[in-house]
Amino acid sequence: MTALDYATLSSAGTGLVWSPRSNLSLYGDVPMVTAAHRFGVNIAIGRDWMVTGSMNLLRELRCVDFFNQVHLGAYFSDEDLWKMVTSNASVATATDDVIGTLAAGKVADISVFANGDGHRAVLEAGPADVVLVMRGGKILYGDENVVGSMPGGDSCDTLDVCGASRKACLFAEVGKTLADLQTAAGSLYPTFFCETPTNEPTCTPQRGVSVSGSTIYDGMTQEDEVAGDGIVNGDGNCPTVFNPVRPVDGGVQADHDADSDDDACDPCPLDASTTSCTPLE
């Protein structure tokens, strides 16, 4: 998509659901999310399917956090990324009247995490760091002591999650105990991984063949190519932000207003040489 496309999305109130791991493993590139964000497009994160995406949303957050830190120069704050799976996601699905934020009168869909500082507790969380999951105020999963102290918690199944004792309250949901569900499901895929999941698709951008003048890159950051996009730092004005030449760009980095500020870094991609952006009517 181009800068004009993102401006159009913003003016129409249309959001973007971003699946970074699938984007990177399938295409070696992602939408120009920096430009989308500057236009005020609501960005949410979705994990897509496991074949090319993440096994769960926490792994998808690990992917986007890695890409943001290494390839976008930490453009997004920790809070920005956290909102992409909470309030932004509820806006994207038009359910923000009932979920997405902790507020009086809304449905109590709540997850609680341990072992972290602020929003980073969620971004860096592994399976053992999830201490409570509730849907509509009903406990589904959590720390053995926490769940066990709640009404009905003593009937939930206990399991070891990476050395942490947890309880899963399944019977009321699926009519099976954890053991029965595991037997029925077989060994198609583990319930969780304590380390990186086996055969997890990559979050490193890679493109080995040039198409219509597009950039070739392996995603490896170097002193003279810090964004890992195949563009030497001095050859573009977006050195810390992943900004390769795409097949749609006609052999050059995207610069819609031709002011030598590439769209991925331009504060006003449609208005040349200014920071006072004109809204798209």
The answer, yes or no, to whether residue 281 has pLDDT greater than 70, is no
Residue 167 resides in a domain:
yes
- In tens, the pLDDT along 201-251 reads 999 999 999 999 999 999 999 888 899 999 987 776 788 999 999 999 999
Residue 192 resides in a domain:
no
Residue 166 resides in a domain:
yes
- In tens, the pLDDT along 134-154 reads 999 999 999 999 999 988 888
- In tens, the pLDDT along 38-54 reads 999 999 999 888 899 99
pLDDT of residue 192: 92
pLDDT of residue 188: 79
Residue 85 resides in a domain:
yes
pLDDT of residue 152: 82
Residue 266 resides in a domain:
no
Distances (CA, A) of 69 to 3, 66, 132, 241, 257: 23, 5, 28, 10, 28
What value does the mean pLDDT take over residues 249-274?
Answer: 92
What value does the mean pLDDT take over residues 105-124?
Answer: 91
Report percent pLDDT > 90 for the chain: 77
What value does the mean pLDDT take over residues 67-81?
Answer: 97
Residue 111 resides in a domain:
yes
Residues in the chain: 281
Residue 281 resides in a domain:
no
3-state SS assignment for residue 142: strand
Higher pLDDT, 113 or 234: 113
Supply the range of the domain harboring residue 80: 3-185
What value does the mean pLDDT take over residues 166-182?
Answer: 91
Provide the domain count of the chain.
1
Residue 210 resides in a domain:
no
pTM for this model (two decimals): 0.92
